[in-house]
Structure 1
């Protein structure tokens, strides 16, 4: 999909930074390692006897923004400095 987007000169936004490292322009999504750590608390509660149906549904709380400036430049896309400053990861 990354190659297809590049072929048609389409800026691409993905849900995880893996795609940005492979040539996508940008990703914004939950921090999966953080979600895995938080799920361990759920498992511990279940193993201690809590009923899964009684546990509240939790949404991700930590999100990450990754940018690939090389890919953006190839497509002629300018990313504002304010967005670059907020990024968790920038590939130059």
Structure 2
């Protein structure tokens, strides 16, 4: 922010629980992924399918993917600023 009076509040976060397919579905909504799909239409779905497979293999479990629960934590911050009076 170009203003002197600026405060960053790091006390907030978003927490959630997702099954592996739900988490992959959530990632598919991200604008970065949507832009990737726009630029690489030949690769639609392959990136996230690969990620899902790699995440599943990392867990070293035999549970079905629908039973894997991921606890997700997204730190967020709030940036507050005030434009100086003229």
Asked if TM exceeds 0.5, the reply is no
TM bucket (normalised to shorter chain) is under 0.3
Query: Which structure has the higher relative contact order (CA within 8 Å, separation 6+)?
Result: 2
Bigger radius of gyration: 2
Structure (1/2) with the larger strand percentage: 2
